[in-house]
């Protein structure tokens, strides 16, 4: 595959998607669980696991959940059995139990994908209809934020309200499986909530009718959906056979997990390496077959994307194209605002400023020292003061840990600060690999580190494919499009390594950020990584201020930590500012 999947020459599906968006044709966005996960919402499987937690903790029900999973592979039937068991354990109704599982942690502010979707939907205005299978209200909040709207401007509908939704002139969201709002939501519940097998069967025909009618009158665009629900796929296939539906599109990222697990299983069985296909080859073979099936059976063109960050990028490309259709359709590499051309111009500019050679060869001589100095200044002047502030906000956790360590009720202030002051931090800058005029590998490489003494040959030749399987937090963050925390396994023979926990954030910039240009469309060019000498907390561990990092403390509550989100946002801003302002030639003067 090429280095990116968002090109007209490499993907006819992407070209068709952009052409449709820029036309006057009506479109219906059908949104699945994938659009809400970035906000901290559970996937379908995770939701069932959360619902099942009281069963797992019940000594009288030991092993029951595992047997339910083994005997009932169909998720909707499993959900039915879990809810029935929960009803035996508590007087609370199923809706209460589902709400508690859905909003178990405090939600993030939505994430890049929801924000981009909201902006695109608002720009499409009356041309667009929105259907979601999600139970949450994250899209509503994203629309309210993007459009500076009142809650009353965003109307929510259930499966019984199709006619009202269809005739709605404003922004209307059809929750075909129901809406379960968070406790302080600006929107009320929308019934019925469809979760179990019986409910899917009861309402299945009506869901199918809605999908069929929208597919006939508009171009359906599926985002965050795996297209495995028969209530979605059947009306598409039957409508295609009858010749009644319009061309649909789906934004999809191939899953590597099943292929990876299959490869691991075969290796454990002792099968010779030369008889085990590569994970990437397995993924390509399966997804190519599935892509053809979806297109041939459902009349749905799949835009195959290489990472989840590219799902967001694809939505952002639609916004760029709508802002200037002729500029996006332009084939001139110097003037076109298309993704591949913009990415090339941006990377060439950055490589020139950092004195980087094509192919991702890190800067040498004076330029490498300048990069290290810039990262050191960034760490000292901006990042470290933020970490100091986080330490002050979490003094009580440090105080509690110190009391237990030194067995006193009152810890002197200077003694209290010792564990945090002994924690070392560093910054690494990674950039996308780029080769002018060629399809570069989908990889990132290390450009420089904040501490020049650590810039040995091993560190400065680091490069990684952009993948969730990467051992580098930088590659994972570029893959996901959001910040990533990574902790290497604790090897007792290697506890003297300098860095033991990493926080990476993607760096996204536009041509307008770098030089005088009209295009505002941002692209991810790399990642900034904050690393620490101390460790993450393992499940079941209590915070030990002498061993655990402050990053582990603020991340221990998962998506509930606003402190973690604030630090991530600061790192993202710092990374973008560094890439925008750095010039190796300035340091040579």
Query: Tens of pLDDT along 389-429?
Result: 999 999 999 989 988 877 777 778 778 889 999 999 999 99
- Cβ within 8 Å of residue 117, ≥6 positions away: 29, 31, 35, 139, 142, 223, 315
CA angle, 15 then 16 then 22, to 5°: 90
Instruction: Report the distance separating Cα 112 and Cα 315, nearest Å.
Output: 10
- Cβ within 8 Å of residue 506, ≥6 positions away: 309, 477, 478, 480, 481, 482, 483, 524, 526, 527, 572
User: Mean pLDDT for the chain?
Assistant: 88
Q: Is residue 59 part of a domain?
A: yes
Q: Is residue 3 part of a domain?
A: no
Same domain for 395 and 416, yes or no, is: yes
Cβ contact 194:159 at 8 Å: yes
Mapping DSSP to helix (H, G, I), strand (E, B) and coil, where does residue 322 land?
A: helix
Q: What pLDDT does residue 349 have? A: 93
In the chain, % of residues over pLDDT 70: 91
Q: Which of 523, 112, 12, 20 is nearest to 321 (CA)?
A: 20
Same domain for 28 and 57, yes or no, is: no
Instruction: Report the distance separating Cα 219 and Cα 236, nearest Å.
Output: 11
Instruction: Report the distance separating Cα 234 and Cα 231, nearest Å.
Output: 6
Cβ contact 157:129 at 8 Å: no
- 107: Cα separation from own chain's centroid: 14
Same domain for 165 and 70, yes or no, is: no
Same domain for 322 and 464, yes or no, is: no
Instruction: Report the distance separating Cα 31 and Cα 445, nearest Å.
Output: 34
Same domain for 31 and 52, yes or no, is: no
User: Mean pLDDT lowest for which of 302-316, 340-354, 509-523?
Assistant: 509-523
DSSP readout, 456-524? -TTGGG-EEESSTT-SSHHHHHHHHTS-EEE-----GGGTT-S--EEEEEEEEE-HHHHSS-S----EE
Q: Which residue has the higher pLDDT, 60 or 186?
A: 186
Does 453 have pLDDT greater than 60? Answer: no
Element (H, E) at 63: none
Residue 535 phi, psi dihedral angles, 5° rounding: -115, 160
Does a cis peptide bond (omega within 30 degrees of 0) precede residue 539?
no
Mean pLDDT score, 62-79: 78
Taken in order 563, 568, 574, 580, the sign of the CA dihedral is negative
Q: Which domain holds residue 78?
A: 44-102
Same domain for 410 and 481, yes or no, is: yes
- Structural domains of the chain, count: 3
* End position of a domain, from candidates 102, 117, 140: 102
Q: What pLDDT does residue 1 have? A: 40
Instruction: Report the distance separating Cα 530 and Cα 505, nearest Å.
Output: 9
Q: What pLDDT does residue 478 have? A: 97
Cβ contact 449:459 at 8 Å: yes
With residues binned 3-state (H G I as helix, E B as strand, rest as coil), the percentages for the chain, rounded to 5, are: 55, 15, 35
Does 202 have pLDDT greater than 90? Answer: yes
Q: Is residue 116 part of a domain?
A: yes
Cβ contact 350:582 at 8 Å: no
Q: Is residue 5 part of a domain?
A: no
pLDDT-derived band of residue 62, with 50, 70 and 90 as boundaries? low
Q: What pLDDT does residue 529 have? A: 98
Instruction: Report the distance separating Cα 121 and Cα 223, nearest Å.
Output: 13
Mean pLDDT score, 163-187: 91
Mean pLDDT score, 449-478: 79
Q: Is residue 576 part of a domain?
A: yes
Q: Which residue has the higher pLDDT, 106 or 53?
A: 53
CATH of the domain at 176: 3.40.50.1220
**Based on C-alpha coordinates, what's the Rg of the chain?**
25
Cβ contact 531:428 at 8 Å: yes
State the chain's maximal CA–CA distance in angstroms: 79
Same domain for 381 and 459, yes or no, is: yes
Same domain for 269 and 308, yes or no, is: yes
Using CA atoms, how far residue 9 sits from 4, 396, 581, in Å, is: 11, 57, 33
Cβ contact 393:405 at 8 Å: no
pLDDT tens, 96-113? Answer: 888 888 887 666 666 899
User: Mean pLDDT lowest for which of 157-161, 293-297, 409-413?
Assistant: 409-413
Cβ contact 444:476 at 8 Å: no
Element (H, E) at 177: none
Strand partners, 145: none
Q: Is residue 338 part of a domain?
A: no
Same domain for 93 and 119, yes or no, is: no
pLDDT-derived band of residue 87, with 50, 70 and 90 as boundaries? confident
Q: What pLDDT does residue 124 have? A: 96
pLDDT tens, 532-576? Answer: 999 999 888 899 999 999 999 998 765 447 888 899 999 999 999
Q: Which of 548, 526, 199, 216 is nearest to 398 (CA)?
A: 548
Instruction: Report the distance separating Cα 258 and Cα 247, nearest Å.
Output: 30
Using CA atoms, how far residue 516 sits from 230, 313, 322, 513, 523, in Å, is: 50, 22, 21, 8, 16
pLDDT tens, 18-35? Answer: 999 999 999 999 999 899
Element (H, E) at 343: helix 339-354
Instruction: Report the distance separating Cα 119 and Cα 138, nearest Å.
Output: 14
Instruction: Report the distance separating Cα 298 and Cα 238, nearest Å.
Output: 8
Same domain for 135 and 256, yes or no, is: yes
* End position of a domain, from candidates 65, 87, 102: 102
Instruction: Report the distance separating Cα 122 and Cα 170, nearest Å.
Output: 10
Residue 533: how many other CB atoms lie within 10 Å: 16
Instruction: Report the distance separating Cα 70 and Cα 72, nearest Å.
Output: 6
Cβ contact 311:223 at 8 Å: yes
Mapping DSSP to helix (H, G, I), strand (E, B) and coil, where does residue 95 land?
A: helix
In total, the chain counts a number of residues equal to 589
Q: Is residue 342 part of a domain?
A: no
Instruction: Report the distance separating Cα 78 and Cα 506, nearest Å.
Output: 37
Cβ contact 462:472 at 8 Å: yes
Same domain for 116 and 98, yes or no, is: no
The pTM assigned to this predicted structure is: 0.90
* End position of a domain, from candidates 81, 102, 123: 102
Same domain for 439 and 576, yes or no, is: yes
Does 498 have pLDDT greater than 90? Answer: no
Q: What pLDDT does residue 109 have? A: 63
Q: Is residue 339 part of a domain?
A: no
């Amino acid at each position: 595959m090429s280095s990116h999947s968002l090109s007209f020459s490499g993907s006819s599906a992407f070209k068709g998607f952009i052409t449709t968006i820029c036309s006057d044709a009506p479109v219906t966005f059908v949104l699945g669980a994938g659009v809400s996960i970035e906000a901290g919402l559970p996937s379908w499987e995770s939701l069932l696991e959360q619902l099942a937690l009281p069963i797992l903790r019940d000594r009288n029900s030991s092993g029951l959940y595992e047997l339910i999973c083994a005997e009932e592979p169909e998720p909707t039937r499993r959900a039915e059995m879990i809810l029935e068991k929960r009803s035996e354990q508590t007087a609370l109704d199923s809706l209460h139990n589902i709400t508690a599982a859905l909003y178990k942690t405090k939600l993030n502010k939505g994430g890049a994908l929801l924000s981009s979707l909201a902006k695109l939907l608002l720009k499409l205005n009356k041309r667009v209809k929105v259907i979601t299978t999600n139970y949450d209200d994250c899209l509503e909040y994203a629309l309210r934020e993007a459009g500076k709207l009142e809650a009353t401007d965003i109307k929510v509908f259930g499966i019984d309200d199709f006619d009202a939704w269809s005739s709605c002139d404003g922004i209307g969201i059809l929750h075909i499986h129901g809406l379960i709002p968070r406790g302080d939501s600006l929107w009320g519940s929308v019934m019925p909530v469809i979760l179990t097998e019986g409910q899917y069967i009861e309402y299945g025909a009506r869901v199918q009718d809605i999908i069929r009618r929208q597919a006939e009158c508009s171009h359906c665009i599926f985002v965050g959906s795996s297209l495995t629900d028969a209530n979605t796929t059947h009306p598409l296939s039957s409508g295609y056979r009858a010749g009644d539906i319009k061309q649909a599109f789906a934004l999809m990222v191939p899953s590597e997990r099943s292929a990876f697990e299959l490869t691991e299983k075969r290796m454990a069985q002792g099968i010779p390496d030369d008889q085990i296909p590569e994970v990437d080859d397995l993924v390509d073979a399966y997804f190519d077959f599935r892509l053809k099936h979806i297109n041939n059976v459902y009349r749905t063109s799949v835009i195959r994307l290489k990472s989840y960050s590219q799902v967001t990028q694809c939505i952002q490309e639609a916004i760029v194209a709508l802002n200037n259709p002729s500029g996006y359709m332009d084939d001139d590499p110097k003037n076109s605002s298309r993704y591949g051309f913009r990415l090339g111009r941006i990377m060439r500019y950055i490589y020139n400023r950092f004195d980087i050679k094509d192919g991702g060869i890190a800067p040498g001589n004076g330029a490498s020292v300048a990069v290290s100095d810039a990262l050191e200044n960034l760490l000292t002047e901006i990042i470290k003061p933020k970490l100091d502030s986080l330490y002050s906000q979490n003094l009580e956790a440090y105080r509690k840990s110190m009391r237990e360590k030194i067995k006193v009720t009152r810890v002197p202030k200077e003694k209290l600060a010792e564990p945090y002051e002994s924690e070392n931090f560093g910054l690494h800058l990674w950039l996308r690999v780029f080769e002018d005029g060629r399809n570069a590998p989908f990889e990132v490489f290390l450009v420089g580190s904040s501490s020049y003494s650590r810039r040995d040959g091993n560190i400065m030749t680091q490069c990684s494919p952009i993948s969730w399987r990467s051992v580098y937090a930088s590659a994972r963050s570029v893959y996901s499009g959001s910040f990533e925390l990574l902790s290497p396994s604790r090897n007792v023979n290697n506890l003297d390594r300098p860095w033991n926990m990493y926080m990476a954030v993607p760096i996204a910039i536009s041509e307008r950020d770098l030089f005088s240009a009209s295009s505002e469309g941002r692209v991810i060019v790399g990642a900034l990584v904050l690393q620490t000498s101390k460790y993450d907390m393992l499940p079941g561990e209590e915070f030990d201020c002498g061993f655990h990092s402050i990053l582990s403390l603020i991340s221990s509550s998962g998506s509930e930590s606003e402190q973690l989100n604030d630090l991530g946002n600061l790192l993202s801003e710092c990374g973008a500012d560094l890439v925008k302002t750095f010039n190796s030639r300035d340091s040579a003067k």
